[in-house]
Chain A
């Protein structure tokens, strides 16, 4: 069967799907995996700009699906990682331009060449979501420790279970340990209690994430970023490695954080 198709979805918009996709893609490439990312958010193309590849687009996903070009021709090669590619979304079409069957056909063709095919799902639970999960072997659900995001994640998990794609694994993004300590934010334990699915990543809120997106260099390439470390850990877990979660609980200051970063044994 070859490569694995992993879809990143959330239900709610704005929880960090695209940032997560970009970072997991880069982190896997850094671990010498052959990776192609597909932006399935047709009409709201974004993965290209977060990856810093927005100026190289010639063809897009809809061009591939409608036979105007070969998948190869639509793939944009990453600047740093020669085995990391992006198939961008079409910007001027809508979700109905692609069908779940198209996605299965496309990814089946890519499985022979790549270790990972990572699909960035649009928000919502309609056609775009169904396109994005149709071919998935594994689904990662991104959520924030916040009532609306958790509720939407639960809805998505329910839909995945109904389609025998579930329950998926959870990435809890934008975790603020100081707020959890004050009892003002749902903790990772609270969220896994509620959603009853396996956690594959806890990503702390981190001020290095936005500057990274600003410059189109995913934060996981920043070795000093705690969020970057969390994304690298997710990539290692996807490769089957047992990696303990970053201990945010006793996080008291920059010095300790840095000490932990070095103790983490990152490559």
Chain B
């Protein structure tokens, strides 16, 4: 609730104490990325899911820390993906080349 002081001096206090100017910027950042790529958010989500599915076929993914997002560099769009693997990935743990060579000797 805006108090009397805020109201008198024209300071609005929207939820989360955020100014509408920064809300405008955030909303535009999101919408411009999708406008420029000509890809709606649902399609992007589907693409992300598919990418993860493909990777999951080969290695176990640490789902909780996956971060795939569109970014803008100048006026170009990039898909930046951070896809951490789980430490328990069998392929990595079991085939330790060092140990193998030890055995060979």
B60 at the interface (CB under 8 A from A): no
A256 at the interface (CB under 8 A from B): no
A183 touches B36 (CB 8 A): no
Q: Across the interface, which residues of B come within 8 angstroms of A155, CB to CB?
A: 35
A47 at the interface (CB under 8 A from B): no
CB distance from B18 to the nearest CB of A (A): 8
B35 touches A151 (CB 8 A): yes
From the candidates A151, A161, A182, A183, name the one contacting B28 in the complex (CB within 8 A). A151
CB distance from B1 to the nearest CB of A (A): 18
Q: Across the interface, which residues of B come within 8 angstroms of A187, CB to CB?
A: 21
A194 touches B28 (CB 8 A): yes
Given contacts A154-B36, A161-B75, contact A182 B25 (CB under 8 A): no
* Nearest-CB residue, chain B, relative to A146: B24
A197 touches B75 (CB 8 A): yes
Q: Which of B13-28 contact A (CB under 8 A)?
A: 19-22, 24-25, 27-28
A184 touches B20 (CB 8 A): yes
Q: Across the interface, which residues of B come within 8 angstroms of A194, CB to CB?
A: 25, 28-29, 32
Cα distance A249–B29 in the bound complex, in angstroms: 24
Q: Across the interface, which residues of A come within 8 angstroms of B21, CB to CB?
A: 179-180, 183-187, 190
A175 at the interface (CB under 8 A from B): no
A258 at the interface (CB under 8 A from B): no
A25 at the interface (CB under 8 A from B): no
Given contacts A196-B72, A197-B75, contact A154 B32 (CB under 8 A): yes
Q: Is chain A's interface secondary structure helix, strand, loop, or mixed overall?
A: helix
* Nearest-CB residue, chain A, relative to B19: A183
B10 at the interface (CB under 8 A from A): yes
Q: Across the interface, which residues of A come within 8 angstroms of B72, CB to CB?
A: 196
- Over the window 27-43 of chain B, the binary record of Cβ atoms lying under 8 Å from chain A Cβ atoms (1 yes, 0 no) is 11101100110000000
Given contacts A182-B19, A184-B19, A197-B75, contact A151 B32 (CB under 8 A): yes
Cα distance A196–B27 in the bound complex, in angstroms: 16
A167 touches B75 (CB 8 A): yes
A184 touches B12 (CB 8 A): yes
Q: Across the interface, which residues of B come within 8 angstroms of A167, CB to CB?
A: 75
A150 at the interface (CB under 8 A from B): yes
Q: Which of A149-202 contact B (CB under 8 A)?
A: 150-151, 154-155, 157-158, 161, 167, 179-180, 182-187, 190, 193-194, 196-197
* Nearest-CB residue, chain B, relative to A161: B75
B74 at the interface (CB under 8 A from A): yes
B65 at the interface (CB under 8 A from A): no
From the candidates B25, B32, B75, name the one contacting A190 in the complex (CB within 8 A). B25
Q: Across the interface, which residues of A come within 8 angstroms of B75, CB to CB?
A: 157-158, 161, 167, 196-197
Cα distance A236–B97 in the bound complex, in angstroms: 68
Cα distance A147–B21 in the bound complex, in angstroms: 10
Cα distance A184–B28 in the bound complex, in angstroms: 15
From the candidates B24, B31, B32, B74, name the one contacting A186 in the complex (CB within 8 A). B24
Q: Across the interface, which residues of B come within 8 angstroms of A197, CB to CB?
A: 75
Cα distance A193–B26 in the bound complex, in angstroms: 11
What are 16 contact pairs spanning A and B, CB under 8 A? A147-B27, A151-B28, A151-B31, A154-B36, A155-B35, A157-B75, A158-B36, A180-B21, A182-B10, A182-B12, A182-B19, A183-B19, A183-B21, A184-B12, A186-B25, A197-B75
Given A179-B21, A182-B19, A194-B29, 5 more A-B residue pairs with CB atoms under 8 Å apart are: A147-B28, A151-B35, A182-B11, A186-B28, A190-B25
